[in-house]
Amino acid sequence: MAAEDADLTPADGKPIGRRIVLGMAGVGAVAVVLGKQLTSMTSNAVGAVAPQIQSVIPATGGFRIYTVTNGYPEMTTAAYRLKITSGADVTTLTFDDLAALPQTSMTKDFQCVTGWRVDNVAWSGVLLSDIIDKFGLSANGTALSFTSFDGAYTESLTMEQAMRPDVLVATSMLGGPISQEHGGPVRLVVAPMYAYKSIKWLDGIEATPTVEPGYWEVRGYDVDAWVGKSNGRSDAPVV
């Protein structure tokens, strides 16, 4: 499956392009939608690009599936590892290790900065604050950096943001495992912020001295991506 970068720099200097890849099982549709037209075009773009495969695009319940690489990285729960770096201490957790930690559930709206939103998404997993406490991360930095096993996407939070009770290292979504395209087996969910903070295919958490802006943030999006209070489009229609 091929996709092309759609980064643009509009008049306000903030690159707002992004790439959307929709596809499954050897049949892919690639919609490259530019800048401000993204919100209004996403639904139609699929039909416009490849009308014949519309019927095989999975019903994702209102979610758009995003990736900044060519496709979705694959990982079994057995092979999964989460590397936690807290100063000189490096700990590697398996999926079972995560499952053995206290489990927390939350149901929150999931809002992309481009305007689409899915209401009442059920997540469960381990509170990031529990991981911070268990591994002493706040003694070793003022922020956290997150990496993905897609090898490209990164994210960050201040320690204060990361301690919130609505920030989860999620191992379950909508009552089941997190699917490959939604970032399984483990993704971050930062419920109070636009979904670009919710890094998929999470494989690393590290305490850092300062906030290191993530993938979209070095491309112009706000580091503090509070829904309705950042450079997102909370006023945009849900498409």
Ligand X SMILES: Nc1nc2c(c(=O)[nH]1)N[C@H]1C(S)=C(S)[C@@H](COP(=O)(O)O)O[C@H]1N2
Which residues would be at the binding site for ligand X (CB under 6 A)?
63-68, 112, 148, 150, 153, 182-183, 195-196, 198-201
Q: x/- contact string, 161-200, with Mo ion (CB under 5 A)?
A: ----------------------------------xx----
Provide the minimum distance between the beta carbon of 31 and Mo ion in the complex, in angstroms, as a whole number.
14
Residue 88: CB atoms within 10 Å: 6
Tell me whether residue 20 or residue 93 sits nearer to ligand X (CB atom): 20
Host H or E run for residue 18: strand 18-24
Tell me whether residue 123 or residue 153 sits nearer to ligand X (CB atom): 153
| Contact of 82 with 101, CB cutoff 8 Å | no
In degrees, to the nearest 5, what angle opens at C-alpha 213 toward C-alphas 150 and 125? 55
Host H or E run for residue 206: strand 202-208
CA–CA separation, 14 and 127 (whole Å):
33
Provide the minimum distance between the beta carbon of 18 and ligand X in the complex, in angstroms, as a whole number.
7
Tell me whether residue 20 or residue 93 sits nearer to Mo ion (CB atom): 20
Tell me whether residue 129 or residue 198 sits nearer to ligand X (CB atom): 198
Q: x/- contact string, 101-120, with Mo ion (CB under 5 A)?
A: -----------x--------
Q: Please give the size of the binding site for Mo ion, defined by CB under 5 A.
A: 3
Host H or E run for residue 48: helix 38-49
Q: What is the DSSP letter of 200?
A: S
